[in-house]
Amino acid sequence: MRVLLCILILAALAVAAVADTNVTGKWTGSFHSISPDGEARESPAVVLLKQNGGEVTGTVGPNESDQNLAFKGKIEGNKITLDSESDGLPIHFDLVLVGDRITGDMNMVHSGQTAKAKIDVTRSK
């Protein structure tokens, strides 16, 4: 019975810890893109996020003054999904939050070809 009680308490604490997660703020790092023809490119990434409950909105760009892509999405536990549009083309982000670091993938499909990128950012202090 004590073991079951301990497991329930730990589970409740884990849920409370996830519920307290807030990604609002400035995140900086890198953006590794691969074009449909396989060309790789690395660039700086600055992501500005705002979280309201499970909803996440924000922008991304090479620096804080050049935020060229706005998005919206959701956070569930440590999984973040974001969607945007650039020149009429849909862009989808699948991200994972671990501590003060967000990593994941971006995919954009155009004319049957997929452009992919990896993003790796940490919370700015």
d(CA 92, CA 82): 6
Q: Tell me the per-residue pLDDT of 72-89, one tens digit each, with 9 for 90 and over.
A: 999 999 999 999 988 888
| CATH no. for 22-123 | 2.40.128.120
Domain boundaries along the sequence of the chain? 22-123
At 113, give phi and psi (nearest 5°): -110, 145
**pLDDT per position as a tens digit, 6-54:** 343 433 334 434 446 899 999 999 999 877 677 889 999 999 999 999 9
Q: Does residue 111 carry a pLDDT above 60?
A: yes
